[in-house]
């Protein structure tokens, strides 16, 4: 005997395997789109200190994750969430988010602020979109913050980041489309 109660496994699988309610998914996607638009608008504030804009954006993303957690009735664990999100975005940094950091650093150069306007907004929007989509997917499968594994989510984050650039550009052109 392995010591694992089959009844517990079956009941756990039935909870994790239950499909999300359509209204919950629609609400979650509206939340993500609203935060994409809001975070892109916030990037237009042009905080003159390099990387401070990234910290502000990360704070907005944490608020978005809190709203998604509420939507999926998942307890929000701020201390854990900060580490997990940092690990996920940090692990994807070399491929997905490097332009975002470079865009922020470009503010050191006076002309970089003007060049940065469009790039930063799209990249911040794409990051917000990707993070939201990763957690919608995780929560819809019955996941919580405590069982989220950033390294497993990295490929999904990178795919969503690429798609997020298109979504962010479309929402930037027409914020009401979200």
Look at residue 17 and tell me if it is in a domain. Answer: no
Residue 16 domain-assigned (yes or no) = no
126 domain-assigned: yes
Model pLDDT, residue 121: 81
Helix or strand holding residue 157 (H, E): helix 150-173
- Model confidence over 45-98: pLDDT tens digits? 666 665 666 677 888 999 999 999 999 999 998 888 888 887 887 766 555 555
Per-residue burial over 136-161, b if 16 or more Cβ lie within 10 Å, else e, is: bebbbebbebeebebeebbeebbebb
Is residue 158 situated within a structural domain?
yes
Note the pTM of the prediction, 2 decimals.
0.75
Selected residue with higher pLDDT from 132 and 54:
132
- Domain of 142 in residue numbering reads as 23-177
Number of alpha carbons in the 13 Å side-chain half-sphere of residue 5: 4
Q: What is the spatial distance between Cα 160 and Cα 126, in angstroms, rounded to a whole number? A: 8
Residue 112 pLDDT grade (very low, low, confident, very high; cuts 50, 70, 90): very low
Within a domain: residue 51? yes
């Amino acid at each position: 005997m392995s010591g694992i109660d089959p009844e517990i496994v079956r009941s756990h699988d039935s909870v994790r395997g239950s499909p999300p309610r359509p209204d919950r998914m629609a609400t979650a996607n509206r939340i993500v789109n609203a935060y994409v638009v809001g975070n892109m608008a916030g990037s237009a504030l042009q905080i003159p200190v390099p990387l401070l804009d990234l910290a502000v954006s990360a704070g907005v993303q944490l608020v978005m994750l809190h709203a998604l957690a509420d939507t999926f009735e998942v307890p929000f664990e701020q201390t854990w969430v900060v580490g997990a999100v940092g690990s996920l975005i940090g692990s994807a940094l070399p491929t997905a988010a490097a332009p975002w950091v470079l865009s922020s650093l470009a503010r050191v150069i006076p002309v970089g602020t003007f060049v940065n306007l469009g790039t930063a907004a799209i990249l911040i929007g794409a990051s917000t979109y990707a993070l939201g989509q990763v957690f919608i997917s995780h929560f819809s499968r019955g996941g919580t913050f405590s069982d989220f594994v950033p390294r497993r989510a990295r490929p999904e984050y990178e795919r969503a980041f690429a798609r997020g650039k298109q979504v962010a550009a479309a929402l930037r052109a027409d914020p009401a489309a979200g």
